[in-house]
Structure 1
Amino acid sequence: MSNETVSDVCYCSTKEHPPIPEPISSEDKAKQLEQELAINPTNTSAALRKLTSAEDNRPSAVGVGYLGVGLLTAVFGGLFLLDLNVILAGIKDLFCTSADVQNSVAVEETDC
């Protein structure tokens, strides 16, 4: 594309003359067009859809979700219940030890 010059501008018989554009190189014009046409990639619909989960209210999908939650709860709850006696014994031992240190007196054999 060639540069526009003053001779390319048509002066009509109007009161206001059209503005005369300043000469601009092809590279500068390309940069200017690139800036005008650039979009923010975080505001596109593809970027917004990537961060949003689609809702699925079908009964089969809901049932599979509840089944998954139930299985995970059973597995981790079972592991917790298997270790519950060890946890309670550790807590009991901790309280008995701290009571002995605070009293610093020979305590009769109690529940500890």
Structure 2
Amino acid sequence: MKQLRLTAALLLAGCAFGATSCLTHCDEEPEPAAEIVEVSYAQTYCADRWGEARGTQQLETVAKAYLLQQGITPQQLQAAAVNAPSVCNACSCTTGVVLKVSVLPADLQTMLNLGFKQ
């Protein structure tokens, strides 16, 4: 009997807390989180749309400027040497640096058209 009373009291307290919580916060709707899509691009020796860049910082700067010119606002942009450079010197050979960019889903198709991979 005591256990039944304790259970009932706990349930009643939980309902009262829930009702109070709802009264103070129910009118507030959480903001929907903006979805972000990450794409990547393997830097080439001299075939990148934004021109040549020496080093990861310069790549980030010129790539961001290019994307802004294309009407894309990167949510996040980072370049890092993640692979060994290709053993060829053709313009299309990769340097080993990969540019990772986070964009809104509305910009995904444009990024893919620019040569980025999802």
Give the structure-1-normalised TM-score: 0.26
With the length of structure 2 as denominator, give the TM-score of the two structures. Answer: 0.25
- Relative contact order, CA 8 A, sep 6+: which one is greater? 2
Which structure: greater strand fraction? 2
- Which protein shows a greater Rg? 1
The structure whose residues are more often helix, as a share, is 1
